[in-house]
């Protein structure tokens, strides 16, 4: 059987479209791929939802200091933290987050995406339990227990984003991949909102907040029981039967049924693994010579730098304190809740935003909005005529919305799609680790920078970094909208022209479907 170029490309992307002939005009009709049909999409979205429930802990961990520091630093409390201890409480989670990201990089390919997320939930449960049980009257003992709790939630934050994003990327087709990967960012945003709401209603009992979070995390762990592992990971472990069953499930085909489209996709998956079987395993540091690995790695490191040094995490972690410093004339915790709502809504909107504008335009629009908000927020302190009631609150909320529509979300989003299958877990973990390490330095430095420079000048510095982010996205970030994972890999390996035609035909010269050889 001879494939034309279009069919070869469809097979390479994991899709086989059988030609259906219209009885009236004999023109071929292209049916909607199975992975994009309602039943398949519902299955994919349900499993991604279960995987991402535990990821709420990442957002909760980020936002928790904002709603607890006021009580924890209140000198009228029997047990309270001094200024230095408070800064460590807020930032130390970010220094253990790289460890979590490295653990995810090591474990995702070894034990699978699902089991890695199970560990994420276990670390979060341990963190909330330690915080809930910090009942001693000795301030130093409580401080140590709180710091250990923050270290554990830092590991959770580092581990949490990569496996769920990779899971969504691997079970979906290119057209709906964006919304499934975006589930990670939505979960983080909802986690931030959840803890802000808890802080609004429970202002003077951080123990109770911890107990509620502990109960919620146990529920998230239980919800992971029915999750099905991805076909590509199962195939990489030689579990072809399980991989095939998983692929059929995610393409909306019931047990006992078969379909040539899914068989063709399975054949591509099988062949990819067969080609790797017998290959000498190359040490990771040697694979960095390959352009499809080192190019996206450097780009993602740069994008994480843009994210961190433009102050996004600072605004999340110190939301209440920044609202007070910026002269917000409403309840600062209520302002934090508005920030959480804005981030959640804008994260949900980002799926459509990315589909309309693509990754590059979304990043540029986002960075422009962030720069305008930070410079104007700084100007409200520089120029008395700009000291308008509620303007700082509006600027902070707009900053949150614009950052979420691009620079805040894109690094986590693209981290799941730009790396080849063979190193996806490792590279996603490494770049995530780098990003969280940068966040530690930024968060730890903020109180000192604020005291030394003044909050308004720190905001101006974040505005300058947002301008630099515009330049980075414009000159360095590739567009991945609508491309399959294999096409993205080819882009980094061969450039914009893609794989040479002769090499494409050789690669696809033999495809096995239902035991038959297609040549």
Residue 281 — very low, low, confident or very high, per pLDDT cuts 50/70/90? low
State the pLDDT confidence band at 49, using cuts at 50, 70 and 90. Answer: very high
Q: Give the tokens for residue 341.
A: 């709502």
Separation CA 510–CA 106 (nearest Å):
33
- Tokens 């040479």: give the residue: 500
CB atoms within 10 A of CB 25: 7
Residue 371 has pLDDT above 90, yes or no: yes
Helical axes 56-72 vs 83-111, angle rounded to 10°: 170
Query: Would you kindly state where each structural domain of the chain is located, as residue ranges?
Result: 38-227+289-494, 238-276
Is the separation of the CB atoms in 98 and 437 below 8 Å?
yes
Q: What is the pLDDT of residues 474-486, one digit of tens each?
A: 998 888 877 777 7
Backbone angles phi, psi at 156, to 5 degrees: -60, -45
- The DSSP symbol for 37 reads S
What per-residue confidence (pLDDT) applies to 501? Answer: 52
Q: Choose between 510 and 54: higher pLDDT.
A: 54
Neighbours of 486 (CB within 10 A): 18
Record the pTM.
0.72
Mean local confidence (pLDDT), 140-155 = 92
User: Considering only 1-15, 74-88, 203-217, which range has the smallest mean pLDDT?
Assistant: 1-15
354 band by pLDDT with thresholds 50, 70 and 90: confident
Q: Residue 355 burial by CB count (10 A; 0-12/13-18/19+): exposed, middle or buried?
A: middle
Q: What is the mean pLDDT of residues 456-462?
A: 91
Determine the pLDDT at residue 23.
40
Task: Tell the residue number behind the tokens 């909306």, with chain if given.
Answer: 252
Q: β-pairing, 28-29 with 516-518? A: unpaired
Given a cut of 90, whether residue 375 has pLDDT beyond it is yes
Per-residue confidence (pLDDT) for residue 122, from 0 to 100: 96
May I ask the CATH architecture of the domain 38-227+289-494? Up-down Bundle (1.20)
The three-state secondary structure class of 344 is: helix
The least confident of 6-20, 81-95, 213-227 is 6-20
Provide the pLDDT for residue 277.
Answer: 56
pLDDT at 440: 80
Q: 20 — phi, psi (to 5°)? A: -105, 130
Burial of 241 (0-12, 13-18, 19+ CB in 10 A): exposed
Residue carrying the six token digits 């002939």: 21
Average pLDDT of the chain, as a whole number: 80
pLDDT interval class at 386 (50, 70, 90): confident
Return the pLDDT at 116: 93
pLDDT at 498 over 70: no
pLDDT band at residue 32, thresholds of 50, 70 and 90? low
Q: What is the token pair recorded at 168?
A: 């969504």
End-to-end CA distance of the chain, in Å? 5
The pLDDT-based confidence of 497 (bands split at 50, 70, 90) is low
Non-local (6+) Cβ contacts of 48 within 8 A are 164, 167, 168, 171, 180, 183
Nearest of 126, 184, 155, 103 to residue 404 by alpha carbon:
184
Percent of the chain with pLDDT over 90: 22
Q: Which residue has the higher pLDDT, 351 or 290?
A: 290
The residue-averaged pLDDT of 398-413 equals 85
Higher pLDDT pick, 331 / 341: 341
Rounded distance between C-alpha atoms, residue 182 and residue 289, angstroms? 30
């Amino acid at each position: 059987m001879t494939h034309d170029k279009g069919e070869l490309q469809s097979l390479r992307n994991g899709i086989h479209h059988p030609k259906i002939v219209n009885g009236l005009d004999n023109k071929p009709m292209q049916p909607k791929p199975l992975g994009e049909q309602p039943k398949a999409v519902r299955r994919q979205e349900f499993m991604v939802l279960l995987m991402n429930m535990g990821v709420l802990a990442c957002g909760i961990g980020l936002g928790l200091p904002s709603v607890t520091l006021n009580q924890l630093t209140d000198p009228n409390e029997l047990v309270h933290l001094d200024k230095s201890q408070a800064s460590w409480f807020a930032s130390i989670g970010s220094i253990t987050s790289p460890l979590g990201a490295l653990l995810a990089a090591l474990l995702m390919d070894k034990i699978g995406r699902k089991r890695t997320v199970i560990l994420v939930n276990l670390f979060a449960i341990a963190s909330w339990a330690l915080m809930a049980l910090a009942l001693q009257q000795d301030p130093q003992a409580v401080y140590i227990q709180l710091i250990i709790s923050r270290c554990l939630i830092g590991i959770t934050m580092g581990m949490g984003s990569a496996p769920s994003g990779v899971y969504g990327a691997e079970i979906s087709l290119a057209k709906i991949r964006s919304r499934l990967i975006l589930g990670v960012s939505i979960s983080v945003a909802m986690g931030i909102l959840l803890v802000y709401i808890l802080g609004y209603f429970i202002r003077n009992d951080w123990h109770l907040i911890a107990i509620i979070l502990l109960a919620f995390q146990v529920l998230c762990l239980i919800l992971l029981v029915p999750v099905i592992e991805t076909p590509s990971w199962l195939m990489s472990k030689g579990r072809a039967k399980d991989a095939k069953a998983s692929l059929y499930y995610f393409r909306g085909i019931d047990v006992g049924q078969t379909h040539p489209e899914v068989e063709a996709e399975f054949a591509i998956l099988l062949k990819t693994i067969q080609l790797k079987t017998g290959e000498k395993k190359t040490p990771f540091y040697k694979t960095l010579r390959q352009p499809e690995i080192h190019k996206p790695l450097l780009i993602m490191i740069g994008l994480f730098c843009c994210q961190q040094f433009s102050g996004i995490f600072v605004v999340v972690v110190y939301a209440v304190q920044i609202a007070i410093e910026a002269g917000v004339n409403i309840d600062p915790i209520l302002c934090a809740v508005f920030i959480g709502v804005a981030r959640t809504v804008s994260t949900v909107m980002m799926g459509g935003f990315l589909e309309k504008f693509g990754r590059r335009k979304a990043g540029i629009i986002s960075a422009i909005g962030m720069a305008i908000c930070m410079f104007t927020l700084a100007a409200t302190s520089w120029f008395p005529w700009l000291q308008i009631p509620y303007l700082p609150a509006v600027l902070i909320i707009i900053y949150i919305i614009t950052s979420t529509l691009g620079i805040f979300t894109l690094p986590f989003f693209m981290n799941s799609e730009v790396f080849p299958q063979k190193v996806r877990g490792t590279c996603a973990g490494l770049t995530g680790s780098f990003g969280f390490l940068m966040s530690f330095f930024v968060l730890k430095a903020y109180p000192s920078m604020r005291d030394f420079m003044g909050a308004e000048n720190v905001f101006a510095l974040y505005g300058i970094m947002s301008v630099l982010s515009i330049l980075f996205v414009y000159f360095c970030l590739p567009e991945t909208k609508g491309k399959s994972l294999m096409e993205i890999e080819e882009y980094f390996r061969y450039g914009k022209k893609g794989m040479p035609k002769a090499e494409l035909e050789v690669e696809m010269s033999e495809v096995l479907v239902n035991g038959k050889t297609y040549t």
